[in-house]
Structure 1
């Protein structure tokens, strides 16, 4: 099975979907990653602020971080090989690497930003990220 790993810059919580200035790119990526997982894909996400040991233990991620710095992240590895740097992968890219057929864009992506943010925040809370900002309800 294909193993996809995303090593991303330090975010305030595991998803990066918290606070008042939520990045739509992170909401979209989180949804795409969840879709890959529900389709049986093996994808993992490592946040430098939350999981620095994952960077230290992975030779490729560690070397990339030392060479390009945090501003070069995210770096995406497929079966240990670097396939993408500097941006998050699209759903189509994740699907291709995981050997899946690409699904249509979910209706949630077409909602206004406030609704999409609320939906993502609710999902993050369900996944245990409610304590991401020091125990406040920022997620």
Structure 2
């Protein structure tokens, strides 16, 4: 099984750098690390628009989405070559279900953004 994520342009390969780190990038990086640790036979590949532009051209589905919608369609998620999601990173539960549907069992931390509560009225 192969999970491919086509990331938007970022300051470094993971986007987890610079003065203000996007917590969503930290989350997806950690979730992908958990998947690779628990299910080594699942190949996880991330491509950056800045660091791997040729990969965006070679994949005709990615190239077409970029041509039609621009870089706003990024990030993109492909599983085993099939287009799954655009414009956002998959949630932990969504990734868990994708893996489950392909016969893999993983335990992923609950989405921190979905479970975060700062008190009455903010959830």
Structures share fold, TM-score greater than 0.5: yes
Q: Which residue of 2 aligns with 1:101?
A: 105
Q: Which residue of 2 aligns with 1:35?
A: 34
Q: TM-score, normalised by structure 2?
A: 0.78
How big is the shift at 1:104? 4.3
SS at match of 1:53: helix
Moved over 3 A (4+): none
Q: Which residue of 1 aligns with 2:15?
A: 16
Paired residues for 1:54-93 under 5 Å: 54-93=55-94
Q: Which residue of 2 aligns with 1:132?
A: none
SS at match of 1:89: coil
- Give the CA RMSD over aligned residues: 1.6
Q: Which residue of 2 aligns with 1:133?
A: none
Q: Which residue of 2 aligns with 1:136?
A: none
Equivalent pair of 1:36/1:94 in contact (CA under 8 Å): no
Gaps of 5+ in 1: 110-139
SS at match of 2:9: coil
Larger RCO: Structure 1 or Structure 2 (Cα < 8 Å, ≥ 6 residues apart)? 1
How big is the shift at 1:79? 1.7
Higher helix residue share: 1
SS at match of 1:31: helix
Deviation larger for 81-90 or 21-30: 81-90
Gaps of 5+ in 2: 113-123
How big is the shift at 1:46? 0.6
| Whole-angstrom distance in 2 between the partners of 1:54 and 1:104 | 29
